[in-house]
């Protein structure tokens, strides 16, 4: 069957060579694997194992999960949505032509972006086949790829802006995701992240099991001890951030509660997001921090916000 053009410039995540579209298949000339094209979606995701595979299966099969998300954020398609207004304004000011949204879900943000920035080329990347197919079925403006955020199937410097909205806490390899965001944004381009931070000493991450479902006297004590230990670890992190300039930490949730219990808010979070670690990883990749919600100075190590945002720019040579 004849090979046709690759409209998104997709590359093999292993060798970075362009993928060829042959019928409904995506083919790597070096034989590192292939993908598929179906229902308007380009699928280049690799097989996963263990809890990762179980989470992907959950995200790819639970329509209720995305219904819940839309009910929780009914105005997320609006450009007036408070949490991403700053990011939209930055993209408009930069006249961003090509934008990659990592962990796009069903791509409500693409509607808000298209309403304020005409002609934008929006590409949404998801690990969930269901979310990507729903984005197409709902008529979201843009193109959609099922792939891995820690091994993006795009060439270096191929986007004017790379963003991730309330998805970072769902990545098993957050450091690699941030490094990949820095790789695929062009010099002079923007990187924007909106997420939640659970590493406050008094915070609680819904996907961590501190006790058991039915609490007797002993289990109440177990819960209290585990909860205090979690708080101590998070407080210790802040001390390290204050005294160690290069310190970063992403505490991984080995088995999120959603794999064993009925889903409730953020029970599928995969790691305890640290805003300070996000900033430091982006800076280590050479990006300049333009704006962040994280307080600066000594007091900032105590006043850690629940909603975290950062906007950074990749310097030009």
Residue 108, in any domain of the structure: yes
Residue 138, in any domain of the structure: yes
Residue 32, in any domain of the structure: yes
Q: What mean pLDDT is predicted for residues 190-204?
A: 88
Considering the domain architecture, whether residues 72 and 169 belong to the same structural domain is answered as yes
What's 265's DSSP letter?
A: T
How confident is the model at residue 255, as a pLDDT?
A: 92
8-11: which pairs have CB atoms within 8 A and are 24 or more residues apart?
Answer: 8/42, 8/123, 8/143, 8/145, 8/154, 9/154, 9/155, 9/158, 10/35, 10/42, 10/44, 10/145, 10/153, 10/154, 11/153, 11/154, 11/155
Inform me whether the pLDDT recorded for 43 exceeds 90.
yes
Considering the domain architecture, whether residues 123 and 268 belong to the same structural domain is answered as yes
Residue 67, in any domain of the structure: yes
Considering the domain architecture, whether residues 34 and 55 belong to the same structural domain is answered as no
Considering the domain architecture, whether residues 64 and 193 belong to the same structural domain is answered as yes
Structural tokens at position 199: 């590493």
Q: Strand 34-38 to strand 271-272: parallel, antiparallel, or no bridges (unpaired)?
A: unpaired
How confident is the model at residue 301, as a pLDDT?
A: 63
Lowest mean pLDDT across 91-105, 167-181, 286-300: 286-300
Residue 204, in any domain of the structure: no
Structural tokens at position 1: 């069957």
Considering the domain architecture, whether residues 14 and 63 belong to the same structural domain is answered as no
Considering the domain architecture, whether residues 124 and 268 belong to the same structural domain is answered as yes
User: Residue 155 sits in which domain range?
Assistant: 40-198+264-313
Inform me whether the pLDDT recorded for 4 exceeds 70.
no
CATH number for position 131: 3.40.50.150
Inform me whether the pLDDT recorded for 33 exceeds 90.
no
Q: What mean pLDDT is predicted for residues 27-38?
A: 85
Considering the domain architecture, whether residues 126 and 178 belong to the same structural domain is answered as yes
Lowest mean pLDDT across 126-135, 148-157, 209-218, 285-294: 209-218
Quote the percentage of the chain above a pLDDT of 90: 61
Considering the domain architecture, whether residues 31 and 166 belong to the same structural domain is answered as no
What's the chain's average pLDDT? 89
Q: How many domains does the chain have?
A: 2
Considering the domain architecture, whether residues 10 and 48 belong to the same structural domain is answered as no
Highest mean pLDDT among 15-29, 191-205, 247-261: 247-261
Model pLDDT for residues 139-165, shown as the tens digit of each residue: 999 999 999 999 999 999 999 999 999
Considering the domain architecture, whether residues 52 and 131 belong to the same structural domain is answered as yes
How confident is the model at residue 82, as a pLDDT?
A: 81
Inform me whether the pLDDT recorded for 2 exceeds 50.
no
Contact 194, 130 (CB under 8 A): no
């Amino acid at each position: 069957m004849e090979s046709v053009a690759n409209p998104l410039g997709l590359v093999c995540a292993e060798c970075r060579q362009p993928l060829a579209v042959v019928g409904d298949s995506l083919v790597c000339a070096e034989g590192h694997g292939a993908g598929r094209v179906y229902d308007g979606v380009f699928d280049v995701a690799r097989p996963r194992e263990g809890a990762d595979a179980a989470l992907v299966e959950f995200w790819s099969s639970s329509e209720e999960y995305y219904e819940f998300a839309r009910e929780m954020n009914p105005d997320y398609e609006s450009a007036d949505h408070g949490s991403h207004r700053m990011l939209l304004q930055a993209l408009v000011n930069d006249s961003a032509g090509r934008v990659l949204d990592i962990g796009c879900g069903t791509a409500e943000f693409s509607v808000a972006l298209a309403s304020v920035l005409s002609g934008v080329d929006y590409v949404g990347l998801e690990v969930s086949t269901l979310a990507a197919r729903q984005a197409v079925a709902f008529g979201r403006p843009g193109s959609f790829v099922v792939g891995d955020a820690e091994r993006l199937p795009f060439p270096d410097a191929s986007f004017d802006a790379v963003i991730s909205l309330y998805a970072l806490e769902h990545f098993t390899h957050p450091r690699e995701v941030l490094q990949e965001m820095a790789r695929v944004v062009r010099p002079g381009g923007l990187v924007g992240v909106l997420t939640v931070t659970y590493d406050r000493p008094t915070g609680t991450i819904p996907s961590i099991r501190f006790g058991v479902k039915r609490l007797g006297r002993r289990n109440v004590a177990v819960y209290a001890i585990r909860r205090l230990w979690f708080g101590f670890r998070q407080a210790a992190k802040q001390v390290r951030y204050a005294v160690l300039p290069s310190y970063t930490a992403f505490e991984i949730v080995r088995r999120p509660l959603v794999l064993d219990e009925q889903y409730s808010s953020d029970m599928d979070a995969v790691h305890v997001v640290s805003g300070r670690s996000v900033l430091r990883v982006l800076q280590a990749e050479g990006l300049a921090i333009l704006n962040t919600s994280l307080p600066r100075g000594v007091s900032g190590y105590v006043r850690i916000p629940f909603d975290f945002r950062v906007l950074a720019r990749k310097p030009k040579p």
